[in-house]
Structure 1
């Protein structure tokens, strides 16, 4: 289904330093909040926007004697994500305790999966332009619980903690260092978000923190990345710094660019890069040090004694696989092959699952993919974007838009009348066919009436006739006059044919 894509090797972003050229190497750890009504180890709600500390069960608050109970639906969501990323599913996985102290972590540890994740190696195909794509390898996906939120701006003398997010299920999706530039990093996040939304495992709301990324950035000399590929020795890639909790594709690109140039300046000045965690300040457009980068041993990982190893059956995984929807790349390829759409139009229409569903519902009524694509993209999307609305807020239903297109195809209305009809349906609603009938908008297809109108215009404009005979391009003036005289209802094709015949062109 993806034969129309040309896979290319990652092309590095080359940055010219003061002394020599450098290449960028990027790996990403994306934290995607699992779309679930309950948390990973408790039945507490995951509803966003509730009052602080309203979504907290005893186990979330680390009350003595409270034991975690795994949420089977969250496990299924992780498996579904793995299948979508063509990853191996581990039938046996286990949870570990990641120990650190912070006020928003009431247990004093986070339950995660370091040693035995539920999902193994996979890949994401990143679109980098028409017909061009790259593969970014996925190292693993593991389940873990989220921490709470510290609040420092309510009272200058105090800090507060909201435990609503504590225990919410996260999927940490870890890539290999295959990303070679800021634009590719943003495209990777966009593609991952698209897939997660298609399969319904994460809503991808970056503004609410439901999808956020830790971005690992390092720089190396040209040729070093190839050595890493041959040996899998990370020392060839340079010391990495991690930019924490990025939730904007634009800021991700800005942060990577700044961080790369910061590292290059240090290295060319004879210094060395300190492996650390940094934060990005979008107001100043710079990264700043947050803390030294911890290694696994700093967190004193050990198997969680409160949870048995998680064992699932292949039949259960197969059942989940049988319910997988059509993925965006497959849908895009089908639109190109079966409906004759361009790569660009298919990309636009499959960008969001709701857009694709709307378009397919229009096609089902209109029975013309190309014409439906033109109207959905140019007329509907254009109008919705202008008004700041999503497809779910469209006042024109797929049945209504498909009905307008059917009227065009049947010859009942012209393209110009169709735009007037679209405006009526958009602002007032109603059945397109009924509106055309009630308001007398049907296209004039009576050849006798059109011929009479053409004769009248020709007779009244002899000078223009001579000009048109000398320059046939000017015949369009007569077509415009006839359509104008008919109130825009005359069939343009019929008018063109009759005008050409009458003028002997």
Structure 2
């Protein structure tokens, strides 16, 4: 065990999936031609006035409700002053002293241990634009399409104690924002990203150590690797009698290291003051009651339902509910009559394998719930074996074919003819006398060898249960 304890807090930025930007009517759209979704307001022209997007307030409040937070029905926008080329106003409109909500929490489970992580606040703000640095060129471009995009920043307490806990917390937040429908959560597009504040202290110490802020964390894997590297780096410094410097560090995923970016700013460096162009944000009692009453089912409640009503094991339920897109596909599959446990087995086995191998996002899956439900049926009634199902699954992922039609087209219907299976088993037994003798001598694990040989003989189409029955019967006779 290390002599040091890590203390980690996360600042998570979530793009809200509104149709327009936070303070103007420009489209809130990713991937368009640079500088096409820009107007006088989001480009920071003098004399223009921002107008608040009310839908962004609703989305932010729904997240506040989901984390059990104290909602401030009167909050205030402030100007956060700093200069950077992608910030055309030279300040960001954010919230400081009066945020949308405070004092929330969510529970995480890591290695069987449940922990409650405090959430300091959620505040609304607009995003900056994007700097583009062409490789090998001595200049940069600025794309202001993203400038003015509505964000919420979710700031945790420094309650996380490991990289694993940080990732578990992030994954739970991610599932929540997608389930709520307030964001698509796409990390590659920057719709869900985080900065990590990391410090260490001797075990048993209560005073916080000097923290560094890590940026450029655009995947769950990179969050874990960056935090682990930073904990090790800070430990080495203290072991050598050196001090940790408070600074912002950039994570380099290719080299798996963090490097200094700039000195870490404190609140006074930003010279916050209330935005004089914006009235306080007021949430009425009626709005709050309506939004609370129309909250969708969140992953934790869905997981409990899967374990209770559908009798899924906890691990299966947790895996499905950690990805709202998978959970939705599972729900639709079960609604078509598929047995839940068998549908879950296919999705958490064959489907996740294809996702991992191809890199396709669960949000972009083409396989239909009808195809999965039909696959459950034809495996269950013996038309095909699980092995054949696995073989044809990549084709089903394309979304333009159903399993029954594909099986018939390729002649893959499972053989359940006793005579044919007995003949194949006898042929295998005759071809391997040494293995038969060893089996009879007590090496019963050789039955797996015989099953494999029979399946090869019958091109994978034999009914596995009937093969095992025939082997037991015929090996006993030889």
For Structure 1 versus Structure 2, the TM-score category normalised by the shorter chain is 0.7 to 0.9
The structure 2 residue matched to 1:62, chosen from 44, 56, 67, is: 44
The structure 2 residue matched to 1:174, chosen from 136, 141, 155, is: 155
> Unaligned regions of 5+ residues in structure 2, if any?
none
Identify the residue that residue 230 of structure 1 maps to in structure 2: none
Identify the residue that residue 272 of structure 2 maps to in structure 1: 301
CA distance in 2, matches of 1:390, 1:60: 31
SS at match of 2:249: strand
Deviation larger for 76-85 or 343-352:
343-352
Identify the residue that residue 187 of structure 1 maps to in structure 2: 168
Where does 1:277-426 land on structure 2 (aligned, <5 Å)?
A: 277-391=248-362, 394=365, 396-415=367-386, 418=389
CA distance in 2, matches of 1:152, 1:458: 69
TM-aligned CA deviation for residue 62 of structure 1: 1.9
CA distance in 1, matches of 2:428, 2:173: 65
CA distance in 2, matches of 1:457, 1:29: 62
SS at match of 2:171: helix
Asked if structure 2 preserves the Cα contact closer than 8 Å seen for 1:366 and 1:406, the reply is: no
Identify the residue that residue 143 of structure 1 maps to in structure 2: 124
Question: Which digits, 9 at most, give the CA deviation of each residue in 1:348-407, with x for residues without a partner?
Answer: 322321111112222233431221122222223323433333445555422122112223
Identify the residue that residue 101 of structure 1 maps to in structure 2: 83
Deviation larger for 256-265 or 46-55:
256-265
Deviation larger for 23-32 or 258-267:
258-267
TM-aligned CA deviation for residue 247 of structure 1: 2.3
Question: Which digits, 9 at most, give the CA deviation of each residue in 1:19-48, with x for residues without a partner?
Answer: xx2221111111212222211111112222
The structure 1 residue matched to 2:7, chosen from 9, 12, 25, is: 25
CA distance in 2, matches of 1:425, 1:269: 57
**Cα–Cα, structure 1 residues 43 and 441, in superposed 2: closer, same or farther, change >3 Å?**
same
Question: Which digits, 9 at most, give the CA deviation of each residue in 1:103-160, with x for residues without a partner?
Answer: 322222211110111122211222313x433221100000011122334447855444
The structure 2 residue matched to 1:205, chosen from 186, 198, 204, is: 186
Asked if structure 2 preserves the Cα contact closer than 8 Å seen for 1:97 and 1:109, the reply is: yes
Does structure 1 residue 48 correspond to structure 2 residue 19?
A: no
Where does 1:465-484 land on structure 2 (aligned, <5 Å)?
A: none
TM-aligned CA deviation for residue 502 of structure 1: 9.0
**Cα–Cα, structure 1 residues 459 and 242, in superposed 2: closer, same or farther, change >3 Å?**
closer
**Cα–Cα, structure 1 residues 26 and 365, in superposed 2: closer, same or farther, change >3 Å?**
same
CA distance in 2, matches of 1:266, 1:439: 63
Does structure 1 residue 89 correspond to structure 2 residue 89?
A: no
SS at match of 2:359: coil
Asked if structure 2 preserves the Cα contact closer than 8 Å seen for 1:98 and 1:300, the reply is: yes
CA distance in 2, matches of 1:292, 1:304: 26
SS at match of 1:178: coil
Question: Which digits, 9 at most, give the CA deviation of each residue in 1:54-103, with x for residues without a partner?
Answer: 22111112222210100011111101111222222221111111222333
Max radius of gyration: which structure? 1
Identify the residue that residue 220 of structure 2 maps to in structure 1: 249
Identify the residue that residue 134 of structure 1 maps to in structure 2: 115
Q: Report the count of equivalent residues.
A: 472
Alpha-carbon RMSD across the aligned residues, in angstroms, is: 3.8
TM-aligned CA deviation for residue 260 of structure 1: 3.3
Where does 1:225-236 land on structure 2 (aligned, <5 Å)?
A: 225=206, 236=207
Asked if structure 1 preserves the Cα contact closer than 8 Å seen for 2:371 and 2:403, the reply is: yes
Asked if structure 2 preserves the Cα contact closer than 8 Å seen for 1:78 and 1:119, the reply is: no
Identify the residue that residue 239 of structure 1 maps to in structure 2: 210
CA distance in 2, matches of 1:348, 1:382: 13
Does structure 1 residue 39 correspond to structure 2 residue 18?
A: no
CA distance in 2, matches of 1:159, 1:460: 69
CA distance in 2, matches of 1:410, 1:398: 19
Asked if structure 2 preserves the Cα contact closer than 8 Å seen for 1:149 and 1:163, the reply is: yes
TM-score (norm 1): 0.79
**Cα–Cα, structure 1 residues 483 and 303, in superposed 2: closer, same or farther, change >3 Å?**
closer
CA distance in 1, matches of 2:238, 2:409: 75
Asked if structure 2 preserves the Cα contact closer than 8 Å seen for 1:27 and 1:176, the reply is: yes
> Unaligned regions of 5+ residues in structure 1, if any?
1-13, 16-20, 226-235
CA distance in 2, matches of 1:357, 1:461: 48
Identify the residue that residue 233 of structure 1 maps to in structure 2: none
